[in-house]
Amino acid sequence: MEAFADEGINEIAAMCSAQSAKTLTILCCLMWAICEDPGPILWVTSDKQEAVKLVKGRIIPMMERCDPVWKRIPKERGKFNTLEIYFPGAPLIITGAKSPASLQSTPFRYILLDEVRSYPPGALEMVEKRTRSFPHNYKKIIISTPDMENDALHAAFMKGDQRHFLAQLPCGHEQELDWKDKNDKGGLKWDSIRNEHGRDLDKIKTTVRYQCEECGAVQAPTLLTRKFISSHGRWEKRNPNAPSNCASFTWGALLPWWTDWGAQVVEYLSALQRLDWGDHEPLKSFTNETQGRVWTDLLRYLKHDKYLRARELDFDTRGKWPLEQKRFATIDVQAAGGRHYYLVIRAWGTGGVSRLLHVEKIGPGVESYANVLLTCEAWGVAKQDIIFDVGTFQSELFQQIMEAGSLPNGDYAMKAMWGDDRPYFLVNGQRHLWTVAPTDPYLGRKGQGFVRPINVILWSKPSLQDRLAFFMHGLGETDWRIPPWIDNDYRKQVTAWDRREFTDNYGRRRTEWYCPKGRPDHYYSCELMQVVAASARGLLSTPREGGPLFEHAAQLVETTDV
Ligand SMILES: [Zn+2]
């Protein structure tokens, strides 16, 4: 509101969480403009129905309570209509972004834009031209919860001086309120409490507190503390290159004192669980509505390449790891330059904890396949935990799986996996990251129908890529590790895939996983299959016992098993 009254500022963009008194802020600016600095005013909301609701529910009641404005209400017939109120020197028009005619009509000095993300495409650009008659003293204010990166709101925020609120905590330190990583000092913290049904959300809610990133002091969310935090602090400008007449602001739902931190934690944990089922919407909604950030903030985070460093841990790959439940060998087969194999051996505990033990490119050469099996044996991988990607050389691999023998129950010991582009598989009406497809190893050839089928594990590539990204970035409560001495070949391949944006057939901006053509990603495939294997063995759906840091990693990864 100070920026609104500042003569040097023409454009204000605020990108913030839901329940942040957005409409109230614009209302206050409106009342101020009518009395203190009148000019033609246009208020744009999503559609006409919304506009009528806004006038009757918010604008008129506010005017009734604001004496200076009420005195200026026009008494003449025809000057006080629902969507057009002619104040002296300040005609006020309220309209919906879906009514293009009204957006193109008269010039306005004030343009107030509410919830721009529900505007139809192009409406914002059109309405922005309406201030041309007031080049020096126009005022445009956009305030909305964000949506996608580079959309109109985000662009307006980026163009401005990008002010973030540095809240002062009761300990005296200033910082932007943030969720932060679980293992970092500072940010929102909570205890992971479980009962026999899984996460005990009611109990978790009561443990939520805020930790100072400077001194580590912990603040319980009492009303007094919350009010202190939201009323002490200052705005920090982070864009020195902004035009001097453009101010922009951003904040999340941790800041306003009337929001519930506990409810936000519950929303976050539930969103992570939904992600496990291949459903991104709750996490996107959490990012936009609660964190007040564009959805691709997370995806941009995925693009910097230092993240793998943070997963390094100096452990003894040959030593005994008390948390280990299973170790898997996953193998990607390649032909170029002679048959060779990319092998990853990784140990897993329950609840998403994992350590990389060995990676190796084996071959080419006639002994390559035998060497793969010998290496697995040397590392103590049981035959039933050796897994081949059968996306290529299928009949050859099927033959090898049949020759490697069976378990006492008659199933083949070694496993076959196949990545699929579907986002999930419906099993008994529920979404799963993978499914089992019994496949005749002799399909279409002599011998078809005479041998036991191979249970090929079909897995959803995009969903597993999301999951592996969470492991590789240490998000949620995972603990996925690599030894620091791991070679560059591995590092390059496991970071080969990235998220990128594209526009779908409906004109919506979406993101997809993308790997530059020709960039090798064999170890990446092996790591994806490791996550599938851990999920298939139930290791991701069982909480880890007794560990102080990650005892409840299963919160991230519950209930994926068929
Ligand atoms: Zn402090």
* pLDDT tens-digit series, residues 117-166: 778 777 787 787 777 778 889 999 999 998 877 778 888 999 999 999 99
DSSP 279: -
Residue 177 CA, ligand 1 centroid: distance in Å = 12
Residue 312 CA, ligand 1 centroid: distance in Å = 29
Residue 229 CA, ligand 1 centroid: distance in Å = 12
pTM: 0.62
* pLDDT tens-digit series, residues 396-446: 999 999 999 999 888 899 999 999 998 888 877 777 888 999 998 887 777
d(CA 68, CA 56): 19
Helix, strand, or coil (residue 149): coil
d(CA 203, CA 338): 58
Q: What pLDDT sits at residue 101?
A: 64
Per-residue pLDDT averaged across 481-491, rounded?
92
Residue 175 CA, ligand 1 centroid: distance in Å = 9
CATH tag for 304-561 (out of 3.30.420.240, 3.90.1420.10, 3.90.920.20, 3.30.2420.10): 3.30.420.240
Helix, strand, or coil (residue 352): coil
Residue 168 CA, ligand 1 centroid: distance in Å = 9
Residue 264 CA, ligand 1 centroid: distance in Å = 23
d(CA 25, CA 62): 12
Residue 170 CA, ligand 1 centroid: distance in Å = 8
Q: Tell me the backbone φ, ψ of residue 520, rounded to 5 degrees.
A: -65, 140
* pLDDT tens-digit series, residues 269-301: 888 777 665 566 778 888 889 999 887 645 444
Whose tokens are 């100072």? That residue is 212
Q: Are the C-beta atoms of 229 and 168 separated by less than 8 Å?
A: yes
Q: What pLDDT sits at residue 541?
A: 67
Q: How many CA atoms lie within 13 A of 415 on its CB side?
A: 23
d(CA 246, CA 162): 9
**Whole-number CA gyration radius for the chain:** 29
Residue 74 CA, ligand 1 centroid: distance in Å = 53
Q: Are the C-beta atoms of 451 and 441 separated by less than 8 Å?
A: yes
Q: Are the C-beta atoms of 295 and 149 separated by less than 8 Å?
A: yes
Residue 209 CA, ligand 1 centroid: distance in Å = 13
Residue 218 CA, ligand 1 centroid: distance in Å = 8
Domain boundaries, the chain: 304-561
H-only helix segments in 129-260: 152-159, 201-206, 223-231
Whose tokens are 């010991």? That residue is 413
Q: Are the C-beta atoms of 114 and 141 separated by less than 8 Å?
A: no
As a 3-state breakdown, the chain gives helix, strand, coil percent values, each rounded to 5, of: 35, 25, 40
Strand order across the beta sheet in which 218-219 lies: 187-189, 209-211, 218-219
